[in-house]
Amino acid sequence: MLPCKNPAVFLSLAVFLSSLTACANSPTAKNLEQSLAADPQLQTNPVVFGEPKDQQPQTQPNQSTVQLPVDFPQDIPIYPNAKLETVTPATDTEKKVSTRWLSADPSNFITNFYTNQFQANNWQINQKPSDDVGGVFEAQRNNVLVKVSIQAQSVTNPAPNQPQTATKLLIEYLPSSTTTAQATPTSSPSETETNNAQTPSGVPQPGDSQFIGPVLPTNAATQPGTVANSPVSSATTNTSVVFTDINQAPQQLREHIQDLAKLGVLSPAIQATKNNAQAKTSQFAPAKTITRREYARWLVAANNAMYANNPAKQIRLAADSAQPAFTDVSVKDPDFPAIQGLAEAGLIPSSLSGDTTAVLFRPDAPLTREQLLLWKIPLDSRQALPTASLDAVKQTWGFQDAGKIDPKALRAVLADHQNGEQSNIRRVFGYTTLFQPKKPVTRAEAAAALWYFGTQGEGISAVDALKLQRPQT
């Protein structure tokens, strides 16, 4: 046993405990017991690190997320990787609505996105940036006026989760009621009939080579929710196809045509009158031969619509300042941006790709089967075409006329066989032992070829692209 070094302490403690035992029922003992009892409030307010819970910083409720205005036009494209920061509603003095966005992507990505979106969805572009670094877009479509300002900025003292670089995006638009009032002045009945017969200045109409999208039927002006004499692209309205002659297409290709029409890719057939004027039509003319310029336009529009949320896979439209790759397609040609863009991307043979013999594009010549594949397959595989020989094509496809295929197109034909059931030849022409490489392609066949991009098991169809579009409010 350890010796006690301080007996006085033990003696005092013994006296104290004896006093408590003797006075257990006294008032003094009761007070002492209450003072030493546990605090009942500790059960609901526990002490954390020596501080009561009610002294800790309270969790702030989630702040309400900024929402787009109810009247935000669905036609206006929104950059996928942009965050809405503020919304400034219209006032009596300032009629436009302003929405401010912030994106971590470079400004050239956003500029290219809006260039392709406005071009593919048939916007009338009144102003566009001089380069891809940034600037201002001003566009108009279906009585919607929009101004998109893109400004790159560098962040000097970024927050922990904020990127070092960012791009500011300002989207301003006039509400539909304002634009309708401005676009439809009061006039007499006779003047109204005259104005309805005219087309908006500078806006491509059905029958024009720049028009993309199905046209409204002749009685569309009487249907609710439609705008008379305005080309409506189903890429944004997501309505049923309005072509009146789809039943004339082969049954296996009808759904392909309808899906692409909903994406706003296809244009109606042009019907020439006696005075060489272009007449409006709501017909697709599926059996009509497609020209090289039409297919080039559809190819760019379809690819960019499929990859609307993936700028890296989109085809960049050529600027007016580009040096023409073909002597018969000048910068004034309405399809110059698409044709030149394909040439600059190396998707069609030209002097830019090293083919010194391809100085003419022949935009109004019929598109052949081998040309359809030669332009389309690189967008499916996204890589260089394989080396091909005549024997290899004969062994894979078994075409009796394989010897008639142009050597340049042999590689595309062989690569298409590797896509299995998703090959363009099987989807467009069905089972055949004759490829007929020089045979002109119909508009229905061209649409079927553009219905799917990619390889077997890894690609996107027009149906998939429609599902990715923004839902209608």
Domains of the chain: 82-155+163-176 (3.30.310.80), 207-290 (no CATH), 291-468 (no CATH)
3-state secondary structure of 393: helix
What b-and-e string marks burial along 351-361, b requiring 16 or more CB atoms within 10 Å of the CB? Answer: ebeeeeebeeb
Q: What is the pLDDT of residue 158?
A: 56
Q: What is the 3-state secondary structure (H, E, C) of 143-157?
A: CEEEEEEEEEEECCC
Residue 268 has pLDDT above 70, yes or no: yes
**Confidence band (pLDDT; 50, 70, 90) for 224?**
very low
Alpha helices in 318-387 (DSSP H): 336-344, 369-381
Q: What is the pLDDT of residue 16?
A: 57
Q: What is the pLDDT of residue 107?
A: 84
Could you tell me if 143 and 179 are in contact, meaning their C-beta atoms sit under 8 angstroms apart? yes
Assigned token pair, 343: 């040439």
Q: Is 29 or 308 the better-scoring residue by pLDDT?
A: 308
Q: Is 235 or 161 the better-scoring residue by pLDDT?
A: 161
Task: Give rounded-to-5 percent helix, strand, coil for the chain.
Answer: 35, 15, 50
Assigned token pair, 272: 């020439």
Looking at 12-16, 27-31, 184-188, 366-370, which range is the least confident one? 184-188
Residue 368 has pLDDT above 90, yes or no: yes
Claim: this prediction has a pTM higher than 0.75 = no
Report the alpha-carbon distance of residue 443 to residue 50 in Å, rounded. 79
Mean pLDDT of the 120-147 span: 82
Q: What is the pLDDT of residue 175?
A: 65
Q: Is 194 or 471 the better-scoring residue by pLDDT?
A: 471
